[in-house]
Structure 1
Amino acid sequence: MDGVKDRIKAFAAMTHGPEVLDSGGGFAGLFALGGYRDPVLVASTDGVGTKLKIAAQLGHFEGVGQDLVTLNVNDILTKGARPLFFLDYVSFSAFDEHRLEMLMRGMVWGCREAGCALIGGETAQLPGVYAEADFDLAGFVVGVVERDNLLDGSRVVPGDRLIGIPSSGVHTNGFSLVRRVFNTDEYPDALFRPCPGLPRNLGDELMVRHRAYYPLLEPYLGSIKALSHITGGGLPGKMPASLPGGVTAEFHVGAWPIPPVFDAIQRAGGISDEEMYRVFNMGLGMVAVCDPDRASELLSGLPDAMDVGQIVESTGPNRTVFRTA
């Protein structure tokens, strides 16, 4: 166990800059915050859900470790925050050194991509709580933004444009439905076989990592009024969280390509369009709201960004509506 702890420390040290201080022990991490006039700390915590089940069946753990960092950093990005540091929580029924090391590798990759420090965490053994091969994973990120740069959606008005940045696939939401549709708990071999309409095996498609938006969007935050990270709840569930009262996000269906994996899920499960849009990101992982005269800056600067709709005045209870383009 001491050897594992030493390797974890070595992994974490790969993400450290001068802001990370020597804590002198293992009870807490220390981070020196400086260089801000009026800083607002922004925090988030989340896990990768039942994508863990697919990862365990495939034996692919680095990807979900990286996903864990990415999805939390994406969440605080919606407030305009720069990620500062990250902490993890991993719990096993019985300690699994191999899984832990692979998870840590993925977390380090995610932290290095986002430019944040991995400064601590907890590894727990909970026999009797989980089935023998099961484990759980959660992450916590803290970031910072100047108060006058905080993205709160208050400046969004009718006429603003919706700029969509594509997802890389299913990301980390909707896996309970995916597992039911393909019955992967009972027939895990389905993950290793080709799936009609997909360029690779089903398992490989489902394990495509959650796209990291901070490196892409950080240079353009000054041109953005609001951001929505499209996770569980899809566009209807997540867009209203970034909008003020009195406005609705109107999406133009057909303005962006929907990745084949969603068509495969829908056909296999006979799922309605309404449920697909309520559960999955449907090809848009992040949606930015900006002035019409700033939209071209994002569209030209972000290689795959697309104009996918506009903000309109609300005329009913729906805060997200879909129109045929």
Structure 2
Amino acid sequence: MSNLKYTSLSYRDAGVDIDAGEALVEKIKPLAAKTMRPEVLTGIGGFGALFEISKKYNNPVLVSGTDGVGTKLRLAFDWNTHNTVGIDLVAMSVNDILVQGAEPLFFLDYFACGKLSVGIASDVISGISKGCEISGCSLIGGETAEMPGMYPIGEYDLAGFAVGIVEKSSIINGKYINVGDVVLGLESSGAHSNGYSLIRKIIERTNYKPDQDFYGKAFGDVVLAPTKIYAKSVLSVINKFGSSIKGLAHITGGGLLDNIPRVLNSNLAAKLYKNSWKMPSLFNWLQENGNVEDNEMYRVFNCGIGMVVIVPASDADLIMKEFSSMGENVHRIGEIVNKDHDMTSTYVV
């Protein structure tokens, strides 16, 4: 048996700083407090978060969604910009549950890194808190994991999930969508959180820098613009127009072509008119510098439309006016048609 004596080791020696973790929790608490709803029964720091379902629902159904930010994080690392990706994280889940008519209730996040930087983590979580405020949901809990050797210094990964609620009789599922219904499009704030592997490839090809001028704005600000959260405007319109909101589609991974069919019956297709909205400069730049074909653009990116709303033709103008009053830029981008056997479920003409 060896007589070697080893020096005493601590968790910090192994790369995990418990004190930094506790300091981060203290920074998070006031951020989370800004997002609290009356249904929250416990604050940040417990083993589990308690949330009471409001008595205003007769037959409540919980709707959940989970997502990350994808390779948009790579640009956040490279450009040292961490205060907006938290908004992206919230938006991707909240917008998903919104399409079934669900009001977002609460959100939980998971932040994993190799070595915890309280400053970077605080920036990220401040974005998560802001996203929750915009959504009207509570940041009810989360997990920060410091895992030495798993991630390079300065890098991290994000995941999160949202839970919302909807009256069972008010669930929006697209089953009442008919031929002749109108497809409305709510403008996006940019590329949101999709297609960034291709975006990064095109940036690498062009050697564009984040501080480079791009139509009067810094290129980095345009590329990293946080995902738009549609919760308040969409819920307001649902509350006012009820069953006239026949279908909603979050234009996320898969772009316009793959997401709209998710809310259509198999015998229907969405016919979109490309001249009915103006594609933002970022997407024109991506298409030109990547020599990306039209069909690929519509399948990879939102191309300026972040949320689709399908409504009866008779109500389209009133609903558009209501969205405009809520601050949304809305366009009449297409119509629902019969789908022929050789036709794709969404196509752009």
| 1:249 partnered with 2:252 | no
| Contact kept in structure 1, 2:44 and 2:140, CA below 8 Å | no
Cα distance in 2 for residues equivalent to 1:208 and 1:23: 30
Residue 40 of structure 2: aligned partner: 20
1:51 and 2:59 correspond: no
Q: Deviations over 1:248-302 (max 9, x none)?
A: 0110110011000001111111111111111100011011001111111221112
Q: Secondary structure at the match of 1:119?
A: strand
Indicate the residue corresponding to 1:202 in structure 2: 219
Deviations 1:139-167 (A, max 9, x none): 10000000111010000010100011111
How do residues 190-229 of structure 1 correspond to structure 2 at under 5 angstroms? Answer: 190-195=209-214, 198-221=215-238, 222=242, 223-229=244-250
For 1:45 and 1:89, the matched residues in 2 are separated by 11
1:230 to 251, 260, 269: 251
Is the CA contact (8 Å cut-off) linking 2:32 and 2:44 kept in structure 1?
no
Matched-pair identity in %? 39
Distance 1:309 1:8, change over 3 A: same
State the aligned residue count: 319
In the alignment, structure 2 segments of 5+ residues that lack a partner are: 1-19
Task: Give the match's secondary structure for 2:101.
Answer: coil
Q: How many Å apart are 1:212 and its aligned residue?
A: 1.3
What corresponds to 1:275 in structure 2? 296
Cα contact 2:23–2:118 (8 A) shared by 1: no
Of residues 123-132 and 32-41 in structure 1, the stretch that sits farther from structure 2 once superposed is 123-132
Q: Distance in 1 between matches of 2:109 and 2:43?
A: 17
Contact kept? 2:35, 2:129, Cα under 8 Å: yes
CA contact (8 A) 2:99 2:172 kept: yes
Write the letter of the residue equivalent to 1:29. A
Q: Is the 8 A contact 2:60 2:167 kept in 1?
A: yes
How far apart in 1 are the matches of 2:38 and 2:311?
35
Q: Secondary structure at the match of 2:88?
A: helix
- Secondary structure of 1:62's counterpart equals coil
Q: TM-score, normalised by structure 1?
A: 0.94
**Shift of residue 24, structure 1, vs aligned partner:** 9.4
Q: Secondary structure at the match of 2:105?
A: strand
Structure 1 residue aligned with 2:11: none
In the TM superposition, residue 201 of structure 1 has moved relative to its aligned partner by 2.7
Q: Distance in 1 between matches of 2:276 and 2:161?
A: 34
CA distance in 2, matches of 1:259, 1:68: 23
Q: Which moved more, 1:129-138 or 1:19-28?
A: 19-28
Alignment of 1:303-322 (within 5 A): 303=324, 304-316=329-341, 317-322=343-348
2:308 to 269, 282, 287: 287
Q: Distance in 2 between matches of 1:140 and 1:315?
A: 38
Rg (Cα) greater in structure: 2
Separation of aligned partners in 1, 2:295 and 2:348: 11
Do the aligned residues in 1 keep the contact of 2:66 with 2:159 (CA within 8 Å)? yes
Aligned to 2:4: none
**Deviations 1:97-140, CA, capped at 9 Å, x for gaps:** 11111111111111111110111000011222222222101110
Q: Which residue of 1 aligns with 2:7?
A: none
- 2:294 and 2:347 map into 1 onto residues whose CA distance is 13
Give the corresponding residue for 1:78: 99
Cα distance in structure 2, aligned partners of 1:73 and 1:29: 19
Counterpart CA distance in 1 for 2:98 and 2:198 is 27
1:135 aligned partner:
156
**With structure 2 as the length reference, what TM-score do the two structures score?**
0.88
Mapped partners of 2:286, 2:266: distance in 1: 34
CA drift at 1:23: 6.6
Is the contact between residue 298 and residue 305 of structure 1 (CA under 8 Å) also seen in structure 2? no
